[in-house]
Amino acid sequence: MIFDMRTIVIMLVVSSVLMAITLLVGTRMGRAAGFVKWNAGLGLFALGWVLVAARGVLPDLVTIALADAILVAGLSVELAGIIEFGGRTAPRLLLLAPGPLMLALLIPLVHDYPAVTLLMGVVLAAIFGAMALAAARLGADAGPARWMLAVANFAGAIMILARSVDIWLKPAMYPNVFAANNLHAAAFVVLFANTIVIPVAYLLMHRERAAGELYRLATFDALTGLFNRRMFLILAERELARARRTGSPYAVLMMDLDLFKRVNDEYGHQAGDRVLAEFAAIAKRSVRTEDLLGRYGGEEFCAVLPGITMPKATAIAERIRGAVSQRPLGDLPRAITISIGVVACSGKAGVLLDTAIGRADAALYRAKHDGRDRVVGLDLAPEDAATAVP
């Protein structure tokens, strides 16, 4: 079966334009990383194929040299889009140099179709290969679609290179770009498929990244990287439910940076943010891997320590307090201290999370009242049993 090559070229134009429109709609007007370059690349690709389709109607200088140079420029811009999507800055030369350089190389060869095809094949295969490598190097936040992108570009590189070599070795079988030949047609069909697969892969990667970002926003505090209050309470409730089922002990820590308002007032909120972020890093290093740690609000933090009794919980709290007081946080000229309230519970008591946090909060305020920069532990009050799970 032999495909009509001019029809395939027209399909390449139509698919490039349609997918550019799809990207424009699907990524909400250019807010996604690499979108502008990706869409511009598709636009250049469509323009290049329009000129190729006009071969025999317009001068060869336009439909061969200029058309192929625009195709190279379009793919180079798409490569820049993948690089940008990966969080890196694409070299300016990648955006400006390939098209003009290719035009300068093609003008002297415009009437030597095998030479033009071989040069284009090598260059396009190199760009497709670079796109495949760049796609494979994208982070896990791009999702499985990055492999779809890599495979599509790798297939494009192989087919374009195979077609070019075949034309160079058998020029009589390829009098022009519209010559009927199975390998010729197969290469163009792969290019047509890529104009659909590559933008779809980009949309899928964008959706995966957006979903991951939404998950991070819903789960973690942006400043400290700890669980935000909502997620901390959800996970803490699960941990206490497990403790109630197994009867295992646990402890709750409430931590508050002393006189933190003065930090913001004297040194500014940026300094305060640095202090909070540095404290969060200290707290993460000081607790165990199985412990839950979250930002409870403002300069207040909370931790649930499973399988632990009051002496060990107090030791962890003292480790946090000592690490904070060792050196000034946030490059401030004076030291910051922290007060910590601790309550230890038995899962058998069936204490509710709100009750345990409330008791740890009472211990925290006892530490504040007693002079700050200290750890205070409190036992459960008798009335706490009345609020326990029966």
- Tens-digit pLDDT profile for residues 233-287: 999 999 999 999 999 999 999 999 999 999 988 999 999 999 999 999 999 999 9
Q: Quick one: tokens of 356?
A: 């345990």
* pLDDT, position 386: 46
Q: How confident is the model at residue 29 (pLDDT cuts 50, 70, 90)?
A: very low
* pLDDT, position 32: 59
Q: C-alpha 324: how far from its chain's center?
A: 32
- Determine the Cα–Cα distance for residues 155 and 128; give it in Å rounded to an integer: 8
Secondary structure of the chain in the HEC alphabet? CCCCHHHHHHHHHHHHHHHHHHHHHHCCCCCCCCHHHHHHHHHHHHHHHHHHHCECCECHHHHHHHHHHHHHHHHHHHHHHHHHHCCCCCCHHHHHCHHHHHHHHHHHHCCCHHHHHHHHHHHHHHHHHHHHHHHHCCCHHHCCHHHHHHHHHHHHHHHHHHHHHHHHHCHHHCCCCCCCCHHHHHHHHHHHHHHHHHHHHHHHHHHHHHHHHHHHHHHECCCCCCECHHHHHHHHHHHHHHHHHHCCEEEEEEEEECCHHHHHHHHCHHHHHHHHHHHHHHHHHHCCCCCEEEEEECCEEEEEEECCCHHHHHHHHHHHHHHHHCCCHHHCCCCCCEEEEEEEEEHHHCCCHHHHHHHHHHHHHHHHHCCCCCEEEECCCHHHHHHCCC
pLDDT tens, 325-350? 888 888 888 889 999 999 999 888 88
pLDDT tens, 281-325? 999 999 999 999 999 999 999 999 999 999 999 999 999 999 998
| CATH architecture classification, 5-219 | Up-down Bundle (1.20)
Say if residue 175's pLDDT is above 80.
no
Q: How confident is the model at residue 54 (pLDDT cuts 50, 70, 90)?
A: confident
* pLDDT, position 183: 79
Q: Exposed, middle or buried: residue 175 (CB in 10 Å: 0-12, 13-18, 19+)?
A: exposed
* pLDDT, position 4: 65
Structural domain spans, the chain? 5-219, 229-387
pTM score, two decimals? 0.73
Q: How confident is the model at residue 21 (pLDDT cuts 50, 70, 90)?
A: confident
* pLDDT, position 178: 72
Q: How confident is the model at residue 207 (pLDDT cuts 50, 70, 90)?
A: confident
* pLDDT, position 107: 94
| CATH architecture classification, 229-387 | 2-Layer Sandwich (3.30)
* pLDDT, position 197: 87
The rounded percent of the chain whose pLDDT value lies above 70 is 93
Residue of 95 and 389 predicted with greater confidence: 95
pLDDT tens, 156-171? 999 999 989 988 888 8
